[in-house]
Structure 1
Amino acid sequence: MSNNNDIISPEMLVLIITATVIGTIARLLTIKLDYRQYPNYPNGYLIHVVTGGLASALGAIVIPTLMAKDFAAVTFLALAIQHFRDVRKTERESLLDLEGDEFARRGDAYIDGIAKIFEARNYIAMLVSFTTALTIQLLQEFLDVSRWVEIFVGAAVGLSLFYLLKRFTERQKIGDIASVTEGLMEIKGSDLYVDGMFVSHLMGREEAKQWFLEDGLAAVIHPNHEHYQIPLLNSGQRQAILFETTRRLGQRKLYSVQNPADGKTIIALVPIIKNFQLLKETILLTPLLETVKKNPELFNKHQGTVKSN
């Protein structure tokens, strides 16, 4: 700070602006990574960019306030954390209000996961901004370098932290633990079968039979290991798969069954867009919910196998 406490020095101004911008960029990148889910553009993006920018600004001003020995200002961080918790609550309530307007429900587990992720990403923006500001301050105190070097190094350190946090918080997908094949649909009498497994007995009308045989699609989800049956057989996880499937392909009719004996899950539907490759891709990209990963040590995404004890 300068001698006049009412004026921010150029050094502090560079620090605050750089840290805020880098933190906001980090929040923008996390929104882009979450394209399959809420928020929907453009209003949803605006809301989360603004909250991410505020989180970044809070992270940026911590260092200047400490340098000015204005410790009372740091208490705003506690208020910010409470605000982010309120944002999570608002997101959850908003998504619950929309449940009746979708082709299929997201489910409570999926909604809770989305709300927690958005709260965590505000913390990521704050931490990235704080780290950027701290790096610039250390350079100003101990090294005689130009402002452009300060900006470059601070941004590099902040974005490196963002990369590490993104990797740490990255969620697994169905494609990490299972494969998807196209199922063969058959109708025997009034019963619908997929790959020989009973799905529904509501095929009594000839129109319904013809409808499914001509326009229907069936996908069979196979767990890659017996341990992976645990998340795939969870009702919350299956509901998340159904939501993503119908959100992307649309739905005229939908059935889903599971076989506890081998962990297979069958999805049979008459979509608006008949494209099995799109259906397969959507299922494989569906995130694994945190609530179904009771034993995280079982999942080894990089090798596709179960870790040994």
Structure 2
Amino acid sequence: MNSLDIYMISTGIIIGTIARLVTLKVDFRQVPSYPTAFFNNIFLGFVAATLGSVAIPALLAGDFVAVTFLTVAVQQFRDVRVAERESLGKLEHTEYTQRGEAYIDGIAKTFESRNYISLITSLATVLVMEALRNANIVVSILCGAVAGIVVMVLIYRFTKGKTVGEICEVNLGQIEVRGSELYVDGMYVTNYLGTDRSRELFLSKGIAVVITPDDPKSRVTLENYGQRQAILFEAIRILGVRRYKFLRKNFETGKIIISFIPINYDAEKVIKAIKHTPILENSRKIDRIMKNSGGSHNG
């Protein structure tokens, strides 16, 4: 191994690790603990970047056995997904409200895919540097870094799904108590407010949010139970819940109503949290499939 190979591998590792840092920052709200899980994911990103960086030099050197480590890496990243799913599942009973299995599955897949981004980014970086082997080393490093960053951005944009705020309107709702019944913007929520204390709490400290789908397709997505559970989790986690939490849907309009008594009242934060809740894969609808005349063809 000569000095150029060292430069290539080092650059690939750095750019690949940076790719994991960038995507980890974007998805930081999905990390279950800090700083332990934060460090773990950075280290896994470093490992992925290292594997991607050594693949091209090993292949060109005829060391085909070394390339098989990529298959080992894929298995390891799958194990990360399984471990993350199990970890979050065991913590469900400790949360204010449950994430739900659909949300946990989406988070676990996200952790796995981010490692692939690091691997492919470092692979692209080293590949470009290898193609420019005869060029000036500074030019080679710059071109490799740029190529890696471009690949990272493209893959991230491809894998990044929509959020609730992109398909729905999220607004504060007006709380109204009629006897033992709770209404939000005139829509019935529950009749569980049978005590004076509960009614007083909702009127003085309660918060309610109304989520309105933009179109019928968005309504189908929003009415998925796993999706609604994920929204409720994000809304309550950001403010905490002192007492009571209700999630209701209006069957006529498709509006979703979330109402609870938070520990910290901050309307702006809860609206932002709901808007940034990701659309889960199992509730996402693809236009070209939805437009199929019946969708009954198998292939």
Counterpart of 1:56 in structure 2 is: 49
Counterpart of 2:21 in structure 1 is: 28
Counterpart of 1:302 in structure 2 is: none
Whether the 8 Å contact between 1:181 and 1:219 is mirrored in structure 2 is yes
Deviations 1:55-91 (A, max 9, x none): 1101011111111111111111111111110111001
Counterpart of 1:171 in structure 2 is: 161
Counterpart of 1:271 in structure 2 is: 262
Deviations 1:8-45 (A, max 9, x none): 21011111111011101001100001122224321111
The 5 A counterparts of 1:249-288 are 249-252=239-242, 253-288=244-279
Structure 2 CA distance for aligned equivalents of residues 218 and 208 of structure 1: 15
Counterpart of 1:43 in structure 2 is: 36
1:292 is displaced (CA, Å) by 0.1
Structure 2 CA distance for aligned equivalents of residues 84 and 95 of structure 1: 17
Counterpart of 1:91 in structure 2 is: 84
Structure 2 CA distance for aligned equivalents of residues 296 and 78 of structure 1: 34
Counterpart of 1:16 in structure 2 is: 9
Aligned length: 289
Whether the 8 Å contact between 1:183 and 1:195 is mirrored in structure 2 is yes
Whether the 8 Å contact between 1:227 and 1:298 is mirrored in structure 2 is no
Structure 2 CA distance for aligned equivalents of residues 148 and 195 of structure 1: 63
User: In structure 2, which of residues 52, 62, 68 is the aligned counterpart of residue 69 of structure 1?
Assistant: 62
Whether the 8 Å contact between 1:233 and 1:260 is mirrored in structure 2 is no
Deviations 1:244-299 (A, max 9, x none): 11110110221110012211000111001112222211111111111101335599
Structure 2 CA distance for aligned equivalents of residues 292 and 53 of structure 1: 32
Whether the 8 Å contact between 2:31 and 2:38 is mirrored in structure 1 is no
Structure 1 CA distance for aligned equivalents of residues 96 and 51 of structure 2: 39
Matched, 1:220 2:213: no
Counterpart of 1:132 in structure 2 is: 125
1:36 partner SS: helix
Structure 2 CA distance for aligned equivalents of residues 130 and 99 of structure 1: 37
Whichever residue aligns with residue 155 of structure 2, its letter is L
1:282 partner SS: helix
Deviates more, 1:128-137 or 1:287-296: 287-296
Deviations 1:82-134 (A, max 9, x none): 11101110010011011011111111000000111111111111100011011
Structure 1 CA distance for aligned equivalents of residues 71 and 34 of structure 2: 30
Whichever residue aligns with residue 177 of structure 1, its letter is I
User: In structure 1, which of residues 127, 151, 156 is the aligned counterpart of residue 141 of structure 2?
Assistant: 151
Structure 1 CA distance for aligned equivalents of residues 144 and 287 of structure 2: 34
Matched, 1:243 2:236: no
Whichever residue aligns with residue 226 of structure 1, its letter is P
Deviates more, 1:177-186 or 1:24-33: 177-186
The 5 A counterparts of 1:269-308 are 269-297=260-288
Counterpart of 1:231 in structure 2 is: 221
Deviates more, 1:214-223 or 1:37-46: 37-46
TM-score by length of 2: 0.94
Whether the 8 Å contact between 2:32 and 2:88 is mirrored in structure 1 is no
User: In structure 2, which of residues 160, 175, 194 is the aligned counterpart of residue 185 of structure 1?
Assistant: 175
Matched, 1:194 2:184: yes
1:240 partner SS: helix
Whether the 8 Å contact between 2:20 and 2:115 is mirrored in structure 1 is yes
Structure 1 CA distance for aligned equivalents of residues 137 and 283 of structure 2: 48
Structure 2 CA distance for aligned equivalents of residues 297 and 240 of structure 1: 26
Structure 2 CA distance for aligned equivalents of residues 190 and 85 of structure 1: 50
What's the C-alpha RMSD, in Å, of the aligned pairs?
1.3
Whether the 8 Å contact between 1:217 and 1:268 is mirrored in structure 2 is yes
2:176 partner SS: strand
Structure 2 CA distance for aligned equivalents of residues 296 and 170 of structure 1: 17
1:195 is displaced (CA, Å) by 1.5
Q: Tell me, which stretches of 5 or more residues in structure 2 are unaligned? A: 291-299
Whichever residue aligns with residue 124 of structure 1, its letter is I
1:256 partner SS: strand
